Structure 1
């Protein structure tokens, strides 16, 4: 039986997909986003080792709370880095009629075909829609999430898009217009959400002895984020 490394578990998540959900935060991430608030999830060797049967036992205990819409959401870190374990877990969930949601930046490797056969919803964190800016923001390769998105589009899986709005970086009207065009080309998007940049993770960097890239940057205004969200949604719908 596959074993995975889990950073933490939230038993009653309300913002990680529809309904009440158990959220598994996977350990490990290859991206180094400049605004990351969970640097403690980066290393693959951290977290707690768990097998699928252990997790299923817990999920069945919580299942009465899920109702018709709730279920499990696998987040991170980056769940796709533990692809075989994630696939086995989602397969087991579908046998028990537990709804599956994958919250991801799309930054994994391998063939996603089997995993997506057991995935009800994908929440995709779009870091940036332009290759050169994507690399500058995440130190990652834009072709990696692009490949994952193509697999999701091919399967026609319902998709929620999330995008962090960072002051002076991704908060201009021009940027939002570009994001709108990027999203318009994706056929299976059900929801789009802009998230304001915050500084809640800064303390973790100090504790871990890591330099925080955006040291002098103030949190994003929630009011401006709402304005940009309205502008984005008006032009998509």
Structure 2
């Protein structure tokens, strides 16, 4: 499951977009301030950031400048401005696309999909060839064998599978679970344990590794 961070201080803008993304099987996190966005990027991995230019604490362009010191995560700008200079500046700073308010949430989701598709690697690595992920049917197979997964197990494994080699903190995985039953970070440990048990008979022992003090990672090779 691909993850999107929405950075916008207006609930009337952020909430419909969150709903549209979740309906299309994205995991979504929302923050209202630029500094919160930078902190969130340190805490966990995201596949794309939707970034409002007019934030109350840090201008969106400045957020992107700071973000690009350490991260190449794709960024889609949201803005109420229509000035061509602003659009060009956002793209020159490293933004991937630009949408002017008001906008259709469906259009933004389509643009997000286009960005992510464009950035996908042209061919899978040897480890990825072991996996088959049917996102529409919410099913994951490993080496041709379907895995019987709970809702939370599916969400966790989907996130790990989308970003092999990327360490996910317990807090980030708990957020991805998005379940009332999972209210403590230790519940993530339980889900990881059961996932490992389901992969072990298929020769997948050790694929989900622990990074002590950091979180969990799906080994990329």
TM-score, scaled to structure 2: 0.31
TM-score when scaled to structure 1? Answer: 0.29
